[in-house]
Structure 1
């Protein structure tokens, strides 16, 4: 099984499915019907859409132990401390 260490974003659809970007599928040599195992190495990551910094900061206030966060103008991702 090939490992993939780059990060990417995808959207969960209404049936709980995710779409892997074509670039990821190519790098991993995946084809239609292949089985994929997804492993969450850091379950302390939370993510939410946020259209402005105020929304991002409001999301951060929901947590007691924020280690770091990123905001790209569309989405905020938060890493919680152990």
Structure 2
């Protein structure tokens, strides 16, 4: 993905992607999020979850938190909403 590189290039060359990626540059308040559909946040052991928050509210909260790197809807079926950061 543009703007990122493998954390462990040698492992990636062996198709072991378990170490993940790192940013090419540090976080900045001017960074923007890339909209991706049909994706799910991978790491869920340390998350904020609010089942009543709208997607826009979720994004606003994430953008105010300098350590937030992603946010998503929990369940948008049947008009539901929710937020995971």
TM-score, length-normalised on structure 1?
Answer: 0.33
